[in-house]
Homo-oligomer: A and B are copies of this chain.
Amino acid sequence: MPRTMTPALLDLVADRFKALADPARLRLLNALRDGERTVSELVEATDLTQANTSKHLALLHTLGFVKRRREASWTYYALGDRDVLRLCDLMCGRIEAEVERRARMLE
């Protein structure tokens, strides 16, 4: 975080964290782990409705978390870059640490 966090920059950062702050969107990103998928494949993989899936994907795309490629009548989505998973991994690491800390307190 740069020292000079203007209110505008703070809003941008907050918006991006907000995009990751939803279980449905995290499921979608996780489903893209192994490569690109069509919307229908993502619907299948995540158990979300088609409309809901499209809406979430649109948001993730706007913020660059996923990229897309049209081919015939399908849209293939893929992770935007490696940062996405790195962010999630960092968060998971925190949770693991927390769980361990709690386990140790119960010993």
Tell me whether A27 and B13 are in contact (CB under 8 A): no
Nearest-neighbor residue (CB-CB) of A65 within chain B: B94
When distances are taken between beta carbons in the complex, the residues of chain B under 8 Å from A16 are 91, 94-95
Q: Assembly of this chain: how many copies?
A: 2
User: A94 vs B20: C-alpha distance in the bound complex, in angstroms?
Assistant: 14
Contact of A23 among B1, B7, B21, B29 (CB under 8 A): B7
**What would be 22 A-B contacts, judged by CB atoms less than 8 Å apart?**
A1-B29, A1-B30, A1-B33, A1-B85, A1-B88, A1-B92, A5-B30, A7-B23, A9-B92, A10-B30, A11-B23, A13-B20, A14-B20, A14-B21, A14-B22, A16-B95, A17-B18, A18-B21, A64-B94, A83-B90, A87-B90, A87-B91
